[in-house]
Chain A
């Protein structure tokens, strides 16, 4: 490298909600912001409706650990591009959760009512839409009717989707081709760019160290990666910044900080510990078409009761009945109807406790259109721990989208009991009056999650939280963590709205602290980001 070292006021690592929101707030306040993103930059028209393996894998990583496998986004906009847009506030009891010693896990200042204004802000900005029953696709309708039949309530799920533009195509995992899903590409990121922020895709940050330039606090080293093969680096560099916001995702942020430990020193012991896959537990039902009609009273066209698993937005309905703070810990969970693309069809068992491959499984998949998949989001014990970081990046990338992480996750008996409880609740709803047969997803011993959390969490207790309640990494002024890794516990709902609300809350704090960290900003309210579209520079 030649010439002077590049500098910026604020360097943001990652462009998902945890990165895009602080990037916008700081840029709008007048700071010079650079965003480094590991993945490629795709525009709306480039998202595909395709399961050919070299298409969707450009923007999705499937990361295998010991005991858990995680799906995460890998592109500008991060997981907001590939997520299913369920936009739910965590229920009140989640913020009051206690650890096994009886101590509060969340910071005392972060409660549902304290976070509600930030939720309001995010809901307005994305924006979030309330689905009516007219908007709930057939699978969500079947789940709602089954819940009602079993004596439960069920709600249409609020979603970050422009319902007028949505075609109900069910290709959300590939990114939204119609610009209807309200990812970061349509709000915070274009607003950040409009205020001068610069996004650099295919830049994988490797470490953070001390800056050499006077007035700058941190130096961030990155490698650029080849767009055709993310395993290949074609360059690298260093940027020094006064403030660094780490939002590389819960699978990457702790690894990056671990690798930086020799340079930064004094890394909090909770970095890379307390990982939670949000207590995700997937199971499914094979619906009896005849009884869906005769018992649930459903008919979508003459003579067809359901037969519509692949139709519609992936998330339609959810029962809140078990999100009740009065229930015992471990027996509180959200039960949500959600579609899973056929890439996961290996996972269901063919009969309760039976084969997941062979003739019986083939017979089950012949009735794929009568499937109904249910996601239980439970209270788990934050049992995950990352091992020593790999030589580069967040994990060993075996192929374009297949990676191996050092994360180990072995659920405690309490977590296993929570899953058993949610399984029983789903089974009771599904099998009431024989409307369906409840089946597990048992093909792999690894638990599957699309909601990695807590690997660098905020809290009041320095022993069990890597970050202060302000999201500043303990002992490292000007270094903040604002992504899913900062969320202290599983949420019993889809986490994206909470991650975004916490990022908004943290951004206010970072803007307020910016002056003390040497960045001149306007500490007043910044304007709402509004809507826009993000154009990749040519």
Chain B
């Protein structure tokens, strides 16, 4: 595996703790993702039952929560209404060639579950033994664990967890694995939720109406004749 510096940092910081091999329930065929009616149903891709996908999806859902895709959805905790980061393509973004982190997702998943084992021991929590440890937590514990890693962790390790969180936010807030014009037109859940504006027909944005066109404050009395501060 050809690792870059950032990936090496991840490996160094996270270590290679193992996750117990357990059997996971197979997810049924998911229905159409919430609010995303595009012809390329990218939000469906991340719903397999492998532990890596379940774990990363659970992390994404903790950061930007959404509602379950199907009744037996274990990755999504269902802590918020509407589509969350998973439906917005968090897995697809992380596996997108341009993002460049696909190779280390197994390491990330392992690290998350390793941290979950520690968290469970420290807090007397018994996660569902049929699931990867982090996925076996309810939303409260998932969030509390990520709070610890993201807000109180130290130095480089905290930056690494923050990088993972950043990818989740980029998936939801930028649809970073799709052309933005296409994503907006297809109703990408994140861009739709925040109200990202529609482009013109040529895929470019223009706002011919953009100003209140009113004087709304007095200028500073010391302003120079070219509008500069003195």
- A residues at B contact (CB < 8 Å): 49-54, 57, 64, 66, 88-89, 91-92, 119, 123, 128, 130-131, 133-138, 141, 144-145, 147-148, 152-158, 167-171, 177, 231, 298, 300, 307-308, 310-312, 317, 319-321, 323, 334, 341-343, 345-346, 357-359, 361-362, 365-366, 368-369, 396-400, 402, 404, 443-446, 493
Question: In the assembled complex, which residues on chain B have CB atoms less than 8 Å from the CB atom of A52?
Answer: 98, 174-180
Question: In the assembled complex, which residues on chain A have CB atoms less than 8 Å from the CB atom of B181?
Answer: 49-50
B64 lies within 8 A of chain A by Cβ: yes
Residue of A nearest to B222 (CB): A320
Report the bound CA distance from A331 to B76 in whole Å: 47
In the bound complex, do residue A320 and residue B196 qualify as a contact, i.e. CB atoms below 8 Å apart? no
Extra contacts besides A342-B194, A399-B100 (13): CB < 8 Å? A52-B176, A53-B96, A130-B227, A141-B216, A155-B219, A155-B220, A157-B227, A170-B207, A357-B63, A359-B79, A362-B80, A368-B195, A398-B9
A155-B227, A317-B217 given; A133·B204 CB < 8 A: no
Question: In the assembled complex, which residues on chain B have CB atoms less than 8 Å from the CB atom of A308?
Answer: 210
Which one of B15-23, B115-123, B128-136, B163-171 is at the interface? Answer: B163-171
Report the bound CA distance from A128 to B227 in whole Å: 11
Smallest beta-carbon distance A377→chain B, Å = 11
Determine which residue in A66, A169, A307, A323 has the highest number of CB atoms from chain B within 10 A of its CB, and name it: A169
Smallest beta-carbon distance A36→chain B, Å = 24
A345-B169, A398-B6 given; A170·B223 CB < 8 A: no
Pick from A130, A168, A357: contact of B206, CB below 8 A: A168
Question: In the assembled complex, which residues on chain B have CB atoms less than 8 Å from the CB atom of A307?
Answer: 195
In the bound complex, do residue A396 and residue B220 qualify as a contact, i.e. CB atoms below 8 Å apart? no
In the bound complex, do residue A365 and residue B193 qualify as a contact, i.e. CB atoms below 8 Å apart? yes
A52-B176, A147-B217, A317-B217 given; A310·B159 CB < 8 A: no
Report the bound CA distance from A49 to B181 in whole Å: 8
Determine which residue in B178, B203, B205, B211 has the highest number of CB atoms from chain A within 10 A of its CB, and name it: B211
Report the bound CA distance from A135 to B165 in whole Å: 37
Interface residues of B in 182-209 (CB under 8 A from A): 193-197, 199, 203-209
Question: In the assembled complex, which residues on chain B have CB atoms less than 8 Å from the CB atom of A312?
Answer: 207, 210-211
A50-B181, A366-B194 given; A343·B230 CB < 8 A: no
Pick from A133, A298, A310, A346: contact of B197, CB below 8 A: A310
* A-B interface, 6 closest residue pairs, ranked by CB to CB distance from nearest: A54-B98, A398-B6, A154-B217, A51-B174, A346-B169, A368-B194
In the bound complex, do residue A320 and residue B229 qualify as a contact, i.e. CB atoms below 8 Å apart? yes
Offer 11 A-B interface pairs, CB within 8 angstroms, sorted by A. A52-B178, A54-B98, A133-B213, A135-B211, A158-B228, A169-B206, A310-B197, A343-B170, A368-B194, A369-B195, A399-B100
Question: In the assembled complex, which residues on chain B have CB atoms less than 8 Å from the CB atom of A311?
Answer: 197, 207, 210
- B residues at A contact (CB < 8 Å): 4-7, 9, 62-65, 79-80, 84, 93, 96-101, 143, 146, 150, 155, 158-159, 162, 165-166, 169-170, 173-181, 193-197, 199, 203-224, 226-230
Smallest beta-carbon distance B55→chain A, Å = 17
Report the bound CA distance from A171 to B199 in whole Å: 12
In the bound complex, do residue B207 and residue A167 qualify as a contact, i.e. CB atoms below 8 Å apart? yes
Smallest beta-carbon distance A374→chain B, Å = 15
Question: In the assembled complex, which residues on chain B have CB atoms less than 8 Å from the CB atom of A169?
Answer: 204-207
In the bound complex, do residue A144 and residue B194 qualify as a contact, i.e. CB atoms below 8 Å apart? no
In the bound complex, do residue A49 and residue B210 qualify as a contact, i.e. CB atoms below 8 Å apart? no
In the bound complex, do residue B223 and residue A444 qualify as a contact, i.e. CB atoms below 8 Å apart? no
In the bound complex, do residue A153 and residue B218 qualify as a contact, i.e. CB atoms below 8 Å apart? yes
Question: In the assembled complex, which residues on chain A have CB atoms less than 8 Å from the CB atom of B62?
Answer: 357-358
In the bound complex, do residue A53 and residue B219 qualify as a contact, i.e. CB atoms below 8 Å apart? no
Residue of A nearest to B10 (CB): A398
Question: In the assembled complex, which residues on chain B have CB atoms less than 8 Å from the CB atom of A153?
Answer: 217-221
In the bound complex, do residue A53 and residue B162 qualify as a contact, i.e. CB atoms below 8 Å apart? no
In the bound complex, do residue A138 and residue B220 qualify as a contact, i.e. CB atoms below 8 Å apart? no
Report the bound CA distance from A147 to B228 in whole Å: 18
Smallest beta-carbon distance A420→chain B, Å = 20
Residue of B nearest to A444 (CB): B162
Smallest beta-carbon distance A493→chain B, Å = 7
Pick from B165, B173, B214, B229: contact of A343, CB below 8 A: B173
Report the bound CA distance from A245 to B213 in whole Å: 44
In the bound complex, do residue A51 and residue B180 qualify as a contact, i.e. CB atoms below 8 Å apart? yes
Pick from A133, A135, A398, A443: contact of B5, CB below 8 A: A398
Smallest beta-carbon distance A150→chain B, Å = 10
Residue of B nearest to A155 (CB): B219
Question: In the assembled complex, which residues on chain B have CB atoms less than 8 Å from the CB atom of A321?
Answer: 220
Question: In the assembled complex, which residues on chain B have CB atoms less than 8 Å from the CB atom of A50?
Answer: 179-181
In the bound complex, do residue B196 and residue A310 qualify as a contact, i.e. CB atoms below 8 Å apart? yes
Question: In the assembled complex, which residues on chain B have CB atoms less than 8 Å from the CB atom of A119?
Answer: 228
Residue of A nearest to B175 (CB): A51
Report the bound CA distance from A398 to B8 in whole Å: 9
Question: In the assembled complex, which residues on chain B have CB atoms less than 8 Å from the CB atom of A444?
Answer: 159, 162
Report the bound CA distance from A320 to B219 in whole Å: 8
In the bound complex, do residue B226 and residue A158 qualify as a contact, i.e. CB atoms below 8 Å apart? yes
Question: In the assembled complex, which residues on chain B have CB atoms less than 8 Å from the CB atom of A168?
Answer: 206-208, 210
Residue of A nearest to B219 (CB): A155
Question: In the assembled complex, which residues on chain A have CB atoms less than 8 Å from the CB atom of B226?
Answer: 123, 128, 130, 158
In the bound complex, do residue B213 and residue A357 qualify as a contact, i.e. CB atoms below 8 Å apart? no
In the bound complex, do residue A399 and residue B217 qualify as a contact, i.e. CB atoms below 8 Å apart? no
Smallest beta-carbon distance B88→chain A, Å = 11
Question: In the assembled complex, which residues on chain A have CB atoms less than 8 Å from the CB atom of B6?
Answer: 398-399, 402, 404
Smallest beta-carbon distance A239→chain B, Å = 29
